[in-house]
A and B are shown apart, each in its own frame.
Chain A
């Protein structure tokens, strides 16, 4: 009985962490689909989301070298989330104009390097404004969690699972049942054709960046009460999320979700049954196996079929 409960405990943790990977992977996929670029700063959107919450809930310590005064704030939690979403949207727009737009007609590699540079810039900016000490963040609900049949369900993880389901449903509705979604899909499939049909391609790309930044930011807001707000918050998640997009099928939305969940569950069980110190390796061993036996990913189409 206890062994069974332990297995369910491990499964629950795996699914919950997997949802976080999935949310960040979703942001990766959206940008890959519209711009053909892997955004290496996607994880840092999550980190920014966490720090924006700290800013609105507590304030910032200030940095005399930068002329930044210390600031004390104590906004209500819901308002902090709303402001974080708005701020992430603005950051998405700035990211589009600062990082992607000037290089939009260049090949894949320069844009990729540009996002990598943005990642380093964002991390160091946050480091200068806040200090390196990680911060705690309150949970969304006041209860720590509930115990069902010997399995402890962390309330924040339940919130994360619920939000992931909502985000997937929203995304499905947006892309399949709205005109905006159809336009976004058209842009991702063929920019020239979309432009000829009168779709404002640049605007669609801005919307994609805003959506990805908000999604990444919300993933950070949700995961911070458990993993804490720190400069490295994004990079740890982003690497696994990137593996998830490849496992799921590069650029496939359903694949990103399934890939994220698979990685979460695989590493959780492998850590429990095989060895903890190699926990991070399992995700990549699994990625290696997928690349070996199904290089296009679980939901990906074969390249030859596309051509």
Chain B
């Protein structure tokens, strides 16, 4: 009897304590659908790093409208079905204000109906242009979509480098062909027809015929949409061996860590478009420094967009003074001119927040920031 009463006393005290604390500062719950396990687990760990950095910063400064953020991480196992499950679990449990993630377009595509049914703002990082064009009012994108990368490549080559004889080399997969088509259209819009458009299948072992064709075409600028880093490495080396030295502007794959390790000096001096670049703004620089200090790692795109997502949610909730899904959605759609790590956000009615890319240069193996090119539409 004695023990029971003591236990019930302890219980009632803890209930009192918990409810009292909850009354003082009811946390704002934010979900994160993340690649915690599976083949992309490495990238998933970086995303959690970025999110936790933001959450700790916000909570240390008194949270959102005085309420701390409580993070709920749900693993999607790096799969599409896992993403659907994670979303239905988070939207089903109630009390959650918004959900961040994931970064893969295919996973977002799979979860899109669930996101729509759940009715909570979903802050995503996938760059497939179609994601925000399926009449799903809840998807907000925190990275520029792929249609802008080709426009930035064309703009940079034509207006900054002032070169007009274009050779385009692209992988024949969905990404490479899509990029090639968008770039051709962007060039055509400026009255330029590429002198050479050359596809190749992924995992090609030899690019000699392509390099010889570039030489023969008399191109003075090369643009690429390549998928695999091995292909980038082999192509870059053969290009230099056979003496092609024209300026090269590529999609982000030529500035990935792996591609740069494989190709080495063969990629020096090339240009690429990239969404997150540490040197692109004071915000990006400060994030890169804080990330490095805390994790002893270099920050990358997997952490940057998710860091932005948390801070942007705080900004939108505070400017709309509400956490209800409808009001938060309206507040997010009204964000324009908010400076994040990825760039300056201005949401359109589709939920696309960013409309431009950074142009970077590979200076002897180090990525340096050149300029940022933004579009209005």
Residues of A bordering B, CB below 8 Å: 6, 9-10, 13, 17, 131-136, 144-145, 152, 154, 226-228, 230, 232, 236-237, 268, 271-272, 276-277, 279-280
Q: Is the CB of B208 within 8 A of A9?
A: yes
From the candidates B199, B205, B213, B229, name the one contacting A227 in the complex (CB within 8 A).
Answer: B205
Residues of B bordering A, CB below 8 Å: 39, 42, 172, 198-201, 203-206, 208-210, 212-213, 229-230, 233-234, 241-243, 258, 261-262, 264
Chain B residues contacting A144 (CB-CB under 8 Å) are 241
Question: Which residue of A has the minimal Cβ distance to B170?
Answer: A277
Chain B residues contacting A145 (CB-CB under 8 Å) are 241
Q: Is the CB of A268 within 8 A of B203?
A: no
Q: Is the CB of A228 within 8 A of B230?
A: yes
Q: Is the CB of A227 within 8 A of B230?
A: yes
From the candidates B172, B208, B262, name the one contacting A13 in the complex (CB within 8 A).
Answer: B208
In the assembly, what is the distance between CA of A226 and CA of B230, in Å?
10
Q: Is the CB of A136 within 8 A of B264?
A: yes
In the assembly, what is the distance between CA of A144 and CA of B237, in Å?
10
Q: Is the CB of A228 within 8 A of B262?
A: yes
Q: Specify which of B205, B210, B229, B230 lies most central, judged by the most chain A CB atoms within 10 Å of its CB.
A: B205
Chain B nearest CB, measured from A13 CB (Å): 5
Question: Which residue of A has the minimal Cβ distance to B264?
Answer: A136
Question: Which residue of A has the minimal Cβ distance to B204?
Answer: A279
Q: Is the CB of A276 within 8 A of B242?
A: no
Q: Is the CB of B208 within 8 A of A10?
A: yes
In the assembly, what is the distance between CA of A236 and CA of B208, in Å?
18
In the assembly, what is the distance between CA of A175 and CA of B230, in Å?
38
Chain A residues contacting B206 (CB-CB under 8 Å) are 13, 17, 268, 271, 279
Given contacts A154-B241, A276-B198, A276-B200, contact A136 B261 (CB under 8 A): yes
Q: Is the CB of B241 within 8 A of A272?
A: no
Q: Is the CB of B233 within 8 A of A228?
A: yes
Question: Which residue of A has the minimal Cβ distance to B261?
Answer: A136
Which 3 A-B residue pairs are closest in the complex by CB-CB distance? A272-B209, A271-B209, A13-B208
Chain B residues contacting A6 (CB-CB under 8 Å) are 212
Chain A nearest CB, measured from B151 CB (Å): 25
Chain B nearest CB, measured from A128 CB (Å): 11
Given contacts A17-B206, A134-B258, A276-B210, contact A226 B234 (CB under 8 A): yes
Q: Is the CB of B205 within 8 A of A136?
A: no
